[in-house]
């Protein structure tokens, strides 16, 4: 009888009672069904059908008799083992079909068939058909199944071609947007640097004398990287006062606030405000604010589309296309985020008003030819949480996030370092890591041999764990290989090379040389 996890307790618990021997000191003495050892039980445990095995090992090694298996088969399928065997072969029932009839998973049915020693029926394999890839026109061979015909599968030579084709031909659903897309126009910026309309009166002389920053920063409009980035940052997290001439920028990321202050030649004190986030992971933080009181600067911001209460009216400005990446980088540093799942790389999401996001979507599409993103109208769906009805979120996948990151950060001199690191932070990729299976294939031994060798204290190999992976210290890597070589030679383990396809005894020097030349990922060993 094969040792399968299905055997033992599942049969015995229902059809067999523990062998009663005698009573002893208000207890019941039973006999183990596998090794015949005596087991002392209380009356309650004996009545609950306990005390059949003295250990888990005995439970697993128990071999039920043919009569017990027949009882189980009649209870489960209402047929004897011989009748079930005939029905499977005559009706040509596969494990999946049997599972559908009796509402049991196909994997469980296979385990039952192994235990009952029933020969399974397998459908004959279908011949591979010559096909052409829908994207790259590459000739490949694939088997034709009914499921593939209905779901349009088997049209591509690889998952890569499938992903690119779907993404290139995906149409964005913009039905939720309130305004007419055909009539959409970028915000026409006005000429900056014209301050004739501003009249300070008798205070003009004293104002110019006490100034401690460059309030003519946007005198020439958006003319370089710095002006485009600062305008994008003010579009997202900046503030223009309605009554006064205050232009302020407040962020928890102190680094970017100080970098912007250097561009303005700001020589005054910063404003700090301490507050606690509701999310425990964020904890307590201080918000650093940059405040500049200037009618000239306020005038330029308004002409460039950064109005007071801009969140409701802001639109993408009609600036020179070569400064788009800097402007979008500023918006991302303010209202964008690079986030992803534990097993996935970074994904970009930007929030804001629908007109601004639609303008960003058009500009990115123009430069990078990317059209696969989601455009969700959050403000309409959750009115209690969001006061803005036109509040939206635009998202990009892993692949296109990397393209956008390469575009906005190329030759960039000013950016938020925290988000830059998140954009290029890669999660652990199983394919790139050198797991125990890859090591086993290289050295020609089984995966379990390597894991046992690493975890054995006698070998004295220094390692530590990260999640599901074992990492060997780089200093101790050569020591591991030398010890493992001696271990293999002492055991006389035979392994083969895929290139030569010849069986070799021991481990050659060339294999160890190539093994040592690998990258630092050599230290990763998957459990």
Q: Mind listing the pLDDT tens digit for each residue in 49-66?
A: 778 888 888 877 787 788
Q: Is 247 a domain residue?
A: yes
Cβ(47)–Cβ(37) below 8 Å: no
Q: What is the pLDDT of residue 176?
A: 72
Residues 262 and 371 in one domain: yes
3-state secondary structure 275-338: EECCCCCCCEEEEEEEEEECHHHHHHHHHCCCCCCHHHCCCCECCCHHHHHHHHHHHHHHHEEE
Give SS3 for 405.
helix
Q: What is the pLDDT of residue 322?
A: 93
Residues 309 and 396 in one domain: yes
Q: What is the pLDDT of residue 521?
A: 38
Cβ(488)–Cβ(404) below 8 Å: no
Q: What is the pLDDT of residue 525?
A: 36
Q: Which residues contact 249 (CB under 8 A, 6 or more apart)?
A: 233, 234, 237, 238, 239, 257, 260, 289, 290
Q: What is the pLDDT of residue 244?
A: 83
Q: Is 182 a domain residue?
A: no
Residues 79 and 206 in one domain: no
Residues 94 and 144 in one domain: no
Q: What is the pLDDT of residue 391?
A: 85
Q: Is 502 a domain residue?
A: yes
Residues 43 and 74 in one domain: no
Q: In which residue are the tokens 């911001």 written?
A: 301
Q: What is the pLDDT of residue 432?
A: 46
Q: What is the pLDDT of residue 519?
A: 34
Cβ(266)–Cβ(212) below 8 Å: yes
Domain that holds residue 90: 66-116
What pTM was estimated for this model as a whole?
0.56
Residues 502 and 395 in one domain: no
Q: Is 189 a domain residue?
A: no
The span from the CA of 247 to the CA of 427, in Å, is 39
Number of Cβ atoms within 10 Å of the Cβ of 326:
24
pLDDT digits (tens, 9 = 90+) for 63-107: 778 888 888 888 888 889 999 999 999 998 988 899 888 888 888
Q: What is the pLDDT of residue 498?
A: 41
Q: What is the pLDDT of residue 9?
A: 53
* 503 sits in which H/E element: strand 503-505
Closest by CA to 294, choosing from 195, 379, 417, 411, is 195
Residues 290 and 419 in one domain: yes
Q: What is the pLDDT of residue 11?
A: 58
Residues of the chain scoring pLDDT < 70: 1-14, 146-152, 163-164, 167-172, 201-210, 275-284, 340-345, 372-373, 426-447, 464-475, 477, 488-489, 491-527
Q: Count the domains in the chain.
A: 5
Give the domain-ending residue among 424, 449, 472. 424
The span from the CA of 71 to the CA of 80, in Å, is 8
Residues 307 and 362 in one domain: yes
């Amino acid at each position: 009888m094969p040792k399968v996890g299905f055997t033992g307790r599942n049969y015995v618990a229902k059809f067999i009672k523990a062998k009663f021997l005698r009573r002893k000191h208000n207890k019941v003495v039973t006999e183990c069904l596998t090794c015949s050892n005596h087991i002392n039980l209380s009356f309650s445990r004996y009545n609950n059908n306990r005390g059949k095995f003295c250990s888990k090992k005995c439970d697993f090694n128990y071999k039920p008799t043919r009569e017990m298996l027949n009882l189980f088969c009649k209870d489960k399928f209402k047929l004897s083992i011989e009748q079930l065997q005939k029905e499977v072969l005559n009706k040509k029932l596969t494990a999946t079909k049997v599972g559908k009839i009796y509402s049991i998973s196909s994997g469980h049915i296979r385990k039952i068939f192994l235990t009952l020693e029933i020969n399974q029926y397998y459908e004959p394999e279908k011949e591979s058909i010559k096909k052409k890839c829908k994207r790259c026109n590459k000739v490949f061979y694939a088997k034709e199944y009914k499921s593939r015909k209905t779901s349009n599968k088997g049209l591509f030579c690889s998952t890569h071609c499938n992903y690119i084709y779907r993404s290139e031909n995906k149409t964005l659903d913009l039905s939720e947007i309130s305004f007419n897309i055909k009539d959409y126009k970028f915000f026409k910026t006005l000429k900056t640097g014209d301050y004739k309309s501003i009249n300070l009166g008798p205070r003009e002389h004293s104002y110019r004398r006490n100034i401690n920053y460059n309030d003519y920063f946007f005198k020439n409009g958006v003319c370089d990287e710095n002006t485009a980035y600062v305008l994008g940052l003010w579009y997202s997290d900046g503030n223009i006062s309605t009554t006064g001439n205050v232009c302020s920028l407040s962020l928890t990321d102190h680094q970017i606030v100080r970098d912007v202050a250097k561009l303005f030649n700001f020589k005054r004190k910063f404003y700090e405000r301490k507050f606690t986030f509701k999310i425990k992971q964020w904890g307590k933080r201080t918000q650093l604010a940059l405040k500049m009181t200037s009618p000239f600067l306020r005038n330029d911001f308004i002409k460039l589309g950064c109005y007071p209460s801009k969140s409701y009216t802001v639109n993408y400005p009609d600036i020179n296309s070569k400064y788009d990446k800097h402007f979008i980088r500023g918006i991302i540093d303010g209202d964008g985020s690079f986030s992803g799942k534990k097993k996935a790389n970074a994904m970009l999401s930007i929030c804001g008003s629908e007109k601004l996001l639609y303008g960003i979507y058009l500009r990115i599409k123009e430069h990078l030819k990317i059209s696969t993103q989601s455009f969700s109208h959050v403000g309409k769906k959750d009115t209690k949480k969001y006061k803005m009805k036109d509040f939206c979120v635009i998202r990009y996948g892993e692949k296109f996030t990397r393209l956008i990151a390469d575009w906005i950060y190329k030759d960039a001199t000013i950016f938020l370092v925290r988000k830059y690191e998140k954009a290029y932070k890669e999660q652990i990729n199983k394919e790139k890591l050198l797991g125990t299976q890859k090591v086993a294939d290289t050295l020609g031994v089984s995966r379990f041999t390597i894991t046992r060798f690493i975890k054995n204290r006698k070998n004295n190999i220094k390692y530590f764990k990260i999640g599901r992976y074992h990492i060997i210290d780089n200093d101790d890597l050569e020591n591991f290989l030398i010890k493992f070589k001696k271990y293999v030679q002492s055991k006389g383990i035979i392994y083969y090379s895929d290139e030569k396809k010849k069986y070799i005894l021991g481990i050659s020097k060339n294999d160890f040389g190539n093994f040592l030349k690998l990258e630092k990922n050599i230290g990763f060993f998957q459990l």
